[in-house]
Structure 1
Amino acid sequence: MNSEFTIAIHSLALLAYRPDHMATSDMIAHNVCTHPARVRKVMAMLRKNGYVAAKEGTGGGFILKCDPEQVTLAEMYRLTSMGSVKPGWCSGDAEQDCMIACNMATVMDQLYAGAEKQMIDYFGQWTIRDVLEQVRREQEKKPGV
């Protein structure tokens, strides 16, 4: 999994928290604690896929264009990180004359695919609204709140 997944969820939760306000990439980046260029990359992806709308220029920024109760974390995983469970290199070589070496890559591919399916199923149980509600519960636990 990559950081774009976290940035996407954080950004959507932030926009869902204030659905009637625009947020610039600088504002979002400050809240996410990352560079605005990274936020812009993720927000462009979210915009392209219809999750946010953008207005350029003075007074511009991003605004939520989706229903936080309908957007699952599984959608965000598929959009930002699909296939990231599998490493770029896998042991084994189909050309070798060894039962282990010539079959390991296929077996590992199956294991990674199964793990990713389990993760997508789990993330499918959570929505952006659920994340926002969990954040609110965490805030309520803090003294003086």
Structure 2
Amino acid sequence: MNYDDKLVNDMPSQYFPTDPSGRKKILRKRITGDAVKFDEDALQSFVTGGHKRKEERRRKAQQEIKSKKLEEKRMKRREKEATKRAEIRKTKALVESNIYLKKTVEELRTIQKERMGGESQQTAEECSFVSPDGTCIKAVIKSL
């Protein structure tokens, strides 16, 4: 049995060439020495069809893997951005609360000054003391 004969026997009927009337041509085996005539493109697609489909499946699988990796990277990036935004919101809230606290402390000080009579000013005195063992100590005394 010849390689061409095997191909003809194994080839599905959809790959058989057709005559002008649309009927399938009957392919004869190479018994009498006549070469079997058929469409070269049909034979080529039959011979390489399995390989092409396999290659296409492999390509699709690789594309799916790439798309999954890209999606994972996107998700990680989104999570990082979300944590950064949350951290920024936290720090802004802390800064705003600190500013509010500073303002309230200043307001309390002004209220206290008003109650004390407005004339209370901070005075600082620097005094030097000599201890019995001979060392000099400087102290700053602040009074309101």
The TM-score bracket by the shorter chain reads: under 0.3
TM-score, normalised with respect to structure 2: 0.25
Higher relative contact order (CA 8 A, sep 6+): 1
Which has the larger share of strand? Answer: 2
